[in-house]
Amino acid sequence: MGQYEFINHTADIGIKVRGFSRKEMFENAARAMFDLIVDLDTVETQNQMAIEIRGEQLEELLADWLRDLLYRYNGDKYLLKEFKIEKISPRGLKARVRGEKLDMSRHNLRREIKAVTYHDLKIRKLNRQWQAQIIFDI
């Protein structure tokens, strides 16, 4: 089994992600979300951005991380492909992301994600892996 998988959910779509650290799990969640949006093989890593998110708990932080990234796509038309969490705690994270502006002549869009939801949002550590489940409104 890979670092993430897609799950069916009534009228929505979800992902289950894994990582050997919280950093890796957050990076995999971001990659999975953009894999739902676009064929990542068509996205280049021309631009880099720094991101800082504050949170009150780990689940909220994960949702806010994905919401911020989704806003960069929906609002600014950035497709993101590489995600590097530099620092993470339940209170916040710092990251660098890489991608490029949407170019309809090169990018194969798969689906629209309207929102990251709290519905069935779960994070847990099982054995040596962190696992999360996230549902998106499509």
CATH code for position 30: 3.55.10.10
Closest CA to 138 of 4, 15, 2, 1: 15
Q: How many structural domains are present in the chain?
A: 1
> How confident is the model at residue 118, as a pLDDT?
84
> How confident is the model at residue 30, as a pLDDT?
98
> How confident is the model at residue 55, as a pLDDT?
85
Which residues lie below 8 Å from residue 17, measured CB to CB, with a gap of 6+?
3, 4, 25, 28, 29, 32, 131, 132, 133, 134
> How confident is the model at residue 80, as a pLDDT?
98
> How confident is the model at residue 56, as a pLDDT?
84
Query: If you search the block for the tokens 């894999």, which residue do you land on?
Result: 35
The range of the structural domain enclosing residue 85 comes to 4-137
> How confident is the model at residue 51, as a pLDDT?
97
State in Å, rounded, how far the first CA of the chain is from the last one.
25
Extract the residue ranges of the chain whose pLDDT is less than 70.
Answer: 1-2, 7-11
Ordered alpha helix ranges (H), 38-124 = 58-74
Q: Burial of 72 by CB count in 10 Å (0-12 exposed, 13-18 middle, 19+ buried)?
A: middle
* 3-class secondary-structure state, position 116: strand
Pair of tokens at residue 80: 């993101």
> How confident is the model at residue 120, as a pLDDT?
85
